[in-house]
Each structure stands twice: as C-alpha cells, then as structure tokens.
C-alpha cells in the first residue's frame, strides 16, 4: 500500500510539486495582469473630443463671457450656486444669457470625461446680433427690410436649411426666440453650408410683442397656415415684411397668428397635408424675392 502511495506521490493530493524549471526552458518573468474590468473602465475614462459648440470649466466659460462670445445657454451643477454667484451668474445676467442648474451627473455625461468643475456652456458658432442692427443694415443698403421669424423651430437641420435659403433670397436677418427654440450650434452651421456667416440672427423675447413693435415701424407680418385665406402666390410679400414660419409639430402658434396681418396657404394636391418647415419657408422666401425683383425691374424700365 505504501509503495503504491509513493508511486502516486508526485500527482497525489498533498504531494509537493516540483517547481524546478525544466531543462532547456527558461522561466518567464512574472508580470501582473490588470483585470479586464479595470482595463475597460480605464479606456472609458479617457476624455473624448468635445463638439465645437461645447465649453467646459469655470475659466473657459468665464473668459468666453468676458470676451463677448455668443453663448446659447449655461449649465451649472446644483449645489454650487454660491461658487458661481460672484462671477459667471453676474456676467450671464449682464448679457441676458440663460443659466440652468442641473444635476451634476448631466454635466458629467455631456463633458465626455473632461474636467468641467460643474460648468458647461453651449456656445454659438457666430455672434448673435440685435434686431436694430439688422434694420440698420437694410436701411444702409436702401432696401425694404425683409425678415424671417421662426416660431419655436426645434430642428437644427431645418434652421440650417432656412439660413441657406435666406442667404440666397436676400433676407436681411432671421429672428428666433430665446426660449423653446433651437439655437445656433455646430449642426446648424454645418447644415447651412456657410450661410450662417452671412445671415444675421437675432434672439428675441416675446414673439407677439416683437411683431407689434415691428408693425409700428411699418412692417407687414405674413404667416403660413393650411387655413390661409389666399394662396401664397396671390399675396403681396414685398415692402417691409416679416415672414413667419411655424414649428415642425404644431406650426404657428395661436398668438403669433393673431399678430399676423395676413395668412397664406400653400395648395397641395397630394396625400400629405403639410410640408417640412424648411421647405415651406424656402418656397415663401423665393416667392417674396420673385415679386421684389419683378417690382424692381418694372421701376427700372
């Protein structure tokens, strides 16, 4: 029995293993392997490239505010109000920029691994202008002001496409609300194919009040809706004009419609009873340009 156990000794339970290296074979140096989970977490923590319209960190946002750069909105982490009240909040208030306190986790996700210090800002690719500046430029050109007002448009691709058409049709400026509207961002800039550099954009407060003020200056306000009293090509969209285009979902709001001098419709014979906002707006802008050029040619003759 003991002889059998001796024969089984090398492989038996409790037997000591022979740790000596085999002849002709070198021992590999010991190297500690990191757990796969640690390696995955390490890769995820590496900062990713930020979009062109995102700024993070207190210094970056503060300097952008001081330099007068166009800022659409600033996000601040909840619980840090005292830290921001003396600088960023005051600067934003002076420039009438929206500040919103959100959970820190939201900023963490948007910052994509960059050190944000509880501050993130959405910057505009170009500067916004004032409505008065747009009107002054039109006057300097000796042209009747032609404005495009977007009633709470939400899709950046639609805004970019409308800017592109606005540049092509001689629109002097585009008006967008400060709240509940897509701002100028990297997507808008890309979709506009460069038109964002040439078409001034102003942010306004209350749409109805803005339209009232423009009407007092001699503007006519034209809106588009399926229930319009006349077809768009039957109206006279010349002279000092504000062309209103509604949002993608609900179209033009009731209050905005009430502020319009006339509503035009776009006849359709197909199965779909509405057009994309950028398509409808482009058709109306081109019709206005057509009639303006026709009047100009008639005068020159």
For 239-288, write each residue's pLDDT tens digit: 999 999 988 777 888 899 999 999 998 888 888 777 889 999 999 999 99
Percent over 70 (pLDDT), the chain: 82
pLDDT above 70 for 28: no
pLDDT above 80 for 41: no
Look at residue 14 in the predicted model and tell me its pLDDT: 46
pLDDT above 60 for 90: yes
Cβ neighbourhood burial of 215 (10 Å; 0-12, 13-18, 19+): middle
Domains of the chain by range and CATH?
54-123 (3.30.1330.30), 131-300 (3.40.1280.10)
In this predicted model, what pLDDT tens digit does every residue of 202-226 receive, in sequence order? 999 999 999 999 999 999 999 988 8
**Which residue from 235, 247, 170, 167 is spatially nearest to 207, judged by alpha carbons?**
247
Q: 208 versus 229: which is more confidently predicted?
A: 208
Rounded average pLDDT over 144-149: 97
Confidence of residue 49 (pLDDT cuts 50, 70, 90): confident
pLDDT above 60 for 25: no
Confidence of residue 234 (pLDDT cuts 50, 70, 90): very high
Q: What is the pTM assigned to this prediction?
A: 0.73
Q: 126 versus 139: which is more confidently predicted?
A: 139
Distance from C-alpha of 55 to C-alpha of 13, rounded to nearest angstrom: 64
Cβ neighbourhood burial of 57 (10 Å; 0-12, 13-18, 19+): middle
Look at residue 82 in the predicted model and tell me its pLDDT: 60
Distance from C-alpha of 119 to C-alpha of 117, rounded to nearest angstrom: 6
Confidence of residue 29 (pLDDT cuts 50, 70, 90): low
Across the chain, what does the average pLDDT equal?
Answer: 83
Distance of CA 42 to the CA centre of its chain: 31
Q: Are 77 and 100 in contact (CB under 8 A)?
A: no
Confidence of residue 10 (pLDDT cuts 50, 70, 90): very low
Rounded average pLDDT over 153-163: 93
Look at residue 117 in the predicted model and tell me its pLDDT: 86
Maximal C-alpha separation, the chain = 126
pLDDT above 70 for 35: no
pLDDT above 80 for 37: no
Look at residue 81 in the predicted model and tell me its pLDDT: 60
Sheet holding 119-123, edge to edge: 54-56, 119-123, 71-77, 98-102
């Amino acid at each position: 029995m003991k002889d059998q156990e001796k024969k089984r000794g090398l492989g038996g339970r409790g037997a000591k293993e022979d740790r000596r290296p085999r002849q002709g074979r070198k021992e590999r140096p010991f190297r500690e392997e990191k757990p796969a989970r640690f390696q995955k977490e390490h890769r995820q923590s590496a900062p990713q490239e930020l979009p062109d319209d995102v700024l993070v960190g207190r210094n970056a946002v503060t300097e952008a505010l001081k330099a007068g750069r166009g800022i659409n909105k600033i996000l601040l982490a909840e619980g840090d109000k005292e830290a921001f009240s003396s600088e960023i909040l005051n600067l934003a208030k002076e420039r009438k920029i929206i500040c919103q306190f959100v959970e820190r986790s939201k900023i963490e996700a948007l910052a994509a691994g960059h050190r944000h210090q509880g501050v993130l800002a959405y910057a505009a690719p170009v500067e916004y202008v004032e409505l008065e500046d747009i009107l002054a430029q039109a006057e300097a050109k000796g042209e009747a002001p032609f404005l495009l007002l977007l009633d709470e448009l939400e899709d950046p691709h639609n805004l970019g496409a409308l800017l592109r058409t606005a540049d092509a049709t001689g629109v002097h400026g585009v008006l967008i609300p400060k709240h509940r509207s897509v701002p100028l961002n990297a997507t808008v800039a890309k979709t506009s194919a460069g038109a964002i550099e040439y078409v001034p954009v102003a942010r306004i407060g209350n749409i109805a009040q803005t339209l009232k003020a423009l009407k007092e200056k001699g503007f006519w306000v034209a809106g588009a809706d399926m229930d319009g009293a006349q077809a768009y090509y039957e109206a006279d969209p010349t002279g000092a004009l504000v062309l209103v285009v509604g949002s993608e979902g609900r179209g033009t709001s009731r209050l905005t419609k009430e502020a319009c001098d006339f509503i035009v419709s776009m006849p359709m014979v197909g199965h779909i009873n509405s057009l994309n906002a950028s398509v409808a707006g482009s058709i109306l802008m081109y019709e206005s340009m057509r009639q303006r050029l026709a009047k100009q040619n008639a005068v020159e003759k």
